[in-house]
Structure 1
């Protein structure tokens, strides 16, 4: 299959983005899809541990660091005063069928919006919204799926992947 498609799962904090992805990803993997994820954070995050060699090298001034072992590797790139744009981040992935992006709701990419009634914020839809995953009925022109029934969302994602 090896098609590189990107689909964002967006919503306000507490809307269930990570919970939904944690349920959707294994269902896609079980069906043979190679899934990658890209998580957006609004705060400064640290990936390596203070005191470890990779941390020391990065803090010494290395702009790019790869920490590798037999089972995985992590690429850390410092971007002081120049945040990486979404396309640059997406281009880091290879040999996957889909890149599931958590966040980046303002980007012009296809997205499923998560909405929970307890968040008490109006859901948002833009021209790139394909569907909404919600815990309540909503008046909208895009398909709505029950956020607590991830198999419905997986079937929708599969149909999205097979288009084009």
Structure 2
């Protein structure tokens, strides 16, 4: 089975998480098994594990990976970083995901939706590869000067447009 991978790229507070959350809900409702990977570019690597709890202590003492399972689900944390393709494979093989949405990883090779806040964001990000759609703020009257389709973030056809892109076939 192949997996459909779609990246959402843009700067903080551009609306990536909001858009992805709406898409996740819609795809799950249609029967998709959706996984989400968020690139955390900040340097505070202990954000996931509390050093005052058992799991955090295991990590502090050198465990390569720490997992925690309970009634609320399963969490996994590692101090090492793998390539995005390895995370996607993990989601596919372990959790049987047919769709993986990725927030960030600007330089990765997957199909991208660029979510912009300002014209300056376009100037900074327009050289990224595999941009398939540009989402611009509803209150703007500018469109990126590109051959790539642009759509306002409040357009009622936005999620339909993204789904149609995804129906073009798996990207992995």
What TM-score results when the alignment is normalised by the length of structure 1?
A: 0.84
- The 5 Å alignment of 1:144-163 reads 144-149=150-155, 152-163=157-168
Question: Could you tell me whether the CA contact under 8 Å between 2:65 and 2:78 is conserved in 1?
Answer: yes
Alpha-carbon shift at residue 97 of structure 1 (Å): 2.2
Alpha-carbon shift at residue 141 of structure 1 (Å): 1.0
Question: Could you tell me whether the CA contact under 8 Å between 1:146 and 1:152 is conserved in 2?
Answer: no
Question: Could you tell me whether the CA contact under 8 Å between 1:28 and 1:154 is conserved in 2?
Answer: no
- The 5 Å alignment of 1:46-125 reads 46-79=47-80, 83-94=81-92, 95-117=96-118, 120-123=120-123, 124-125=125-126
Distance (whole Å) between structure 2 residues aligned to residue 143 and residue 33 of structure 1: 26
What TM-score results when the alignment is normalised by the length of structure 2?
A: 0.80
Alpha-carbon shift at residue 27 of structure 1 (Å): 2.2
Question: Where does structure 1 lack aligned partners over 5 or more consecutive residues?
Answer: none
CA offset digits 1:108-163 (Å, max 9, x no partner): 1110000123x7433433330110111134132111122123x5332223223322
Figure out how many residues of one structure are paired with residues of the other and give that number: 158
Distance (whole Å) between structure 2 residues aligned to residue 38 and residue 78 of structure 1: 16
Report the aligned-residue RMSD: 2.0
Distance (whole Å) between structure 2 residues aligned to residue 47 and residue 114 of structure 1: 26
Distance (whole Å) between structure 2 residues aligned to residue 122 and residue 113 of structure 1: 8
